Every structure is written in structure tokens, then in C-alpha cells.
Amino acid sequence: MKSVDRWVSPAIRALSAYHVPPAEGLVKLDAMENPYTLPEELRDQWLQRLGQVDINRYPDAGAHQLKTQIRDVFEIPQNCGLALGNGSDELIQMTASLVGGPGRTILAPAPSFSMYEIISLTTSTDFMEVSLNQDFTPDKNEFIRVINEVEPACVFISYPNNPTGNSFDRDFIEAVITSAPGLVVVDEAYFPFSGKSFLQEIHRFPNLLVMRTLSKNGLAGLRLGMMMGDPKWLDQIEKIRLPYNVNSLTQVSVEFCLDHFSVLTAQAQQIVEDRQRLAAELGKLSGLTVFPSEANFILVKFDQNADTVFEQLKQRRVLVKNLNHPGTLLENCLRITVGTPKQNRQLVSALESFL
Ligand SMILES: *Cc1c(COP(=O)(O)O)cnc(C)c1O
């Protein structure tokens, strides 16, 4: 039988491919992108740099120059290992390939970043989650109990958490790292907006990996993620990494952007200020609850069916992320990425027109 059913595992057949909705002509507030581009004069200099790249040659497989610059800009401790991925999604995949597999479990809070589950399943690893409390704080005792029971190969903690926007207590995260028999990945995708990190704690914990990405920082299109931790673990990750996973145009572009990193930092700062303003504006509307956020998005729960709210926003040309799942903590929730002040006003007036 040359059939899909014979050779593709039930776990993968049951999945649907990651759906990215079309956004043409819409105010795009669904994917935590930075709404700002590089200033014009930097764009020109960047294009010049790109023009010098020999695309007939393979990239530097070790991305040596880029890694040196990253260590410097992000103040990565000297004795830490560093691996780069084609986005941090790829680093999640490498980690799952390294320690996952049949009979192994990956653990995460629920709700959290959907790729933890998808990547677990596609690497034949069991995926288990521990529900957060109603206010999206973690239940420490329950989490530790589950860790002791299932002995997960890896625990993923998004810090701040996507899609809820809050950062878990450091005490909780330290307790997870200490109790876990395997790896704990602290995923700091939203570090540019929270400023909170475990990077400087790596030396204290032999099983801690810290992950960052440039995607939420204004460079989503380049696909670059970073993973830091004890070199013993990163040496193993390096064996799994495909040699040219970070292409030459990305390497050169990120090097260029890191030379001008203060521009991206200022944009992130602007987004943080606009997040406070947007949260306050949303808070004035009736029929919804706004959850506190340390990221570049805001989670909102509606008193009415959020599918309807989502569709009504779309009719008014505003695209957000619909997370409505009846019977879960995300029932009637939408996730709104903070945009430019103008986009944020468009969103608020769209809501005002029908709420
Ligand atoms: C967006 C996001 C990522 C993915 O980042 P890429 O580097 O674009 O792959 C990883 N983790 C969390 C929690 C995210 O929200």
C-alpha cells in the first residue's frame, strides 16, 4: 500500500498545517510584528551591504561574525554556548529532536505558544500541559507535581507568556528549573518589551536554556533565533543543526541591523508606551476585560462571542488573532498586537462602532 495512511503517523495526519490568514488591505494586528520599518537612509545602506553578498557561495556555516556581534549586543555571558536558528521556531524543533522522541514528554503551561505542542507532535514526542489559573498565573504546586510525575525531557516557559502577556514569577520559574529532571527552555521572545531575562542566571542552572528571537524586534522576515545555555547542551544542539540554516542574506542583514540596534530598541520602547495607551483606551470600552501585558500585544476577553467580534473587526478592515476556544481559559479571547498609534486608533474606533 503506497498510501499516506500507511506511512504517515496518526499524530501528523491529525494535525492541520499552520494557518496564516491573508492580510492584504487589512490593518495587521495579528502576529506580534513590529509595525515600523528601517528608516529610509538605513534601508539604502542595508541594500548596499546586501549587494556585496556572494550568493553563489554557501553561507558561513558557523555564522562566526554574526555570533560575535550577537554576544556583544545582547551581553551574553562569556562562558555560555550560543546556537542560531532559522527563527526560534527552528531552535524549538532542534531541542525537541535532541531530547524528545517516543516515550518522552514535553511539558508547557496552558495556554501558551502553540508551536510547543505542534513541534512535540511532529517529533513523535508526547506533549502535556498544565493549566494556568483563571488570572493566568501558574499553579506552582500542580506544575511541580506534574514534573515529578511525568519527568519531562523538556519544559517550555514563555516569559512573558504568549498569548496571555503576563510574566510568571521568577520564583516559580526557578522552582521549575530546579525540579525538572530535563531541560527547561525559557523563551524570551518578548524580552524587548519586558526587559526581564534569565540570561544572567544560566551559570546557576545546568539544565537552563534561554531563547531569544529578533522577530518581535522588527526583523520577523529575516528569521533569526538564538539559544544560550551551558556549552555542554549547545554542543549537542550544534550536531542537530543543519549547516546552513541561517542564510547569507540573513547573516549580513542582522549584522547590519545590530550595528544600528538603537533604532530597533527605540521602536520597541515606543511600542511599550503605545501598549499602555492602548490598554487604557480598551479599558474604557464596556463589555470586555483587558489583561495586563508585558509584551507587544494585549489579550482581551469579551462578554459576547469573540468570533462575532473578530468578524466585525475584519469587516472594518482590522485583523487580530482569534483565540476563542469554548470551554478553555481563552474562551471569547482575542489577541491584539500593538501597532502604530494610528493603527491602534483604528482598532479602538472599530470596536467602539459596534460594542
Ligand atoms: C513569536 C514567538 C516565537 C517565534 O519566533 P520566531 O523566531 O519568529 O520563530 C517563539 N516563541 C514565542 C513565545 C513567540 O511568541
Please tell me the distance between residue 89's alpha carbon and the centre of ligand 1 in angstroms: 6
Instruction: Specify the CATH number for the domain of residue 326.
Output: 3.90.1150.10
Q: Read off φ and ψ for residue 53, nearest 5 degrees.
A: -75, 130
The region, left, alpha or beta by phi > 0 then psi within -120 to 50, assigned to residue 131 is beta
Calpha distance 175→121 (Å, rounded): 26
Is residue 88 in contact with ligand 1, taking CB distance under 6 Å? Answer: yes
* Residues 272 and 255 placed together within one structural domain of the fold: no
pLDDT band at residue 18 under the 50/70/90 scheme: confident
> Looking at residue 17, what is its pLDDT?
85
Q: Which of 260, 283, 303 is the last residue of a domain?
A: 260
Calpha distance 323→128 (Å, rounded): 20
The mean pLDDT value for 144-155 works out to 98
Q: Which atom of ligand 1 is nearest to the CA of 220?
A: 8
Q: Which of 234, 260, 286 is the last residue of a domain?
A: 260
Calpha distance 285→79 (Å, rounded): 50
> Looking at residue 215, what is its pLDDT?
98
> Looking at residue 118, what is its pLDDT?
96
Is residue 294 in contact with ligand 1, taking CB distance under 6 Å? Answer: no
- pLDDT tens across 235-268, in order? 999 999 999 999 999 999 999 999 999 999 999 9
Is residue 138 in contact with ligand 1, taking CB distance under 6 Å? Answer: no
* Residues 127 and 144 placed together within one structural domain of the fold: yes
Q: Which of 260, 295, 327 is the last residue of a domain?
A: 260
Q: Is the pLDDT of residue 70 over 90?
A: yes
- pLDDT tens across 161-193, in order? 999 999 999 999 999 999 999 999 999 999 999
**Closest protein CA for atom 2 of ligand 1:** 189
Exposure of 181 in the CB half-sphere (CA atoms within 13 A): 13
**Closest protein CA for atom 11 of ligand 1:** 189
> Looking at residue 49, what is its pLDDT?
97
Average pLDDT, the chain: 97
* Residues 119 and 104 placed together within one structural domain of the fold: yes
* Residues 238 and 313 placed together within one structural domain of the fold: no
How many structural domains does the chain have?
Answer: 2
Q: Is the pLDDT of residue 1 over 90?
A: no
Q: Is the pLDDT of residue 19 over 90?
A: no
> Looking at residue 182, what is its pLDDT?
98
* Residues 255 and 266 placed together within one structural domain of the fold: no
* Residues 114 and 24 placed together within one structural domain of the fold: no
> Looking at residue 286, what is its pLDDT?
95
- pLDDT tens across 277-314, in order? 999 999 999 999 999 999 999 999 999 999 999 999 99
Q: Read off φ and ψ for residue 142, nearest 5 degrees.
A: -65, -40
Percent of the chain, pLDDT > 90?
97
* Residues 61 and 199 placed together within one structural domain of the fold: yes
- pLDDT tens across 71-129, in order? 999 999 999 999 999 999 999 999 999 999 999 999 999 999 999 999 999 999 999 99
Is residue 113 in contact with ligand 1, taking CB distance under 6 Å? Answer: yes
* Residues 25 and 88 placed together within one structural domain of the fold: no
Calpha distance 173→248 (Å, rounded): 36
The angle subtended at Cα 166 by Cα 161 and Cα 169, nearest 5°, is 95
* Residues 102 and 247 placed together within one structural domain of the fold: yes
Instruction: Specify the CATH number for the domain of residue 127.
Output: 3.40.640.10
The parent domain of residue 86 ranges over: 56-260
Q: Are 292 and 306 in contact (CB under 8 A)?
A: no
Q: Which of 86, 116, 162 to mutate to test the pocket of ligand 1 (most atoms within 8 A of CB)?
A: 162
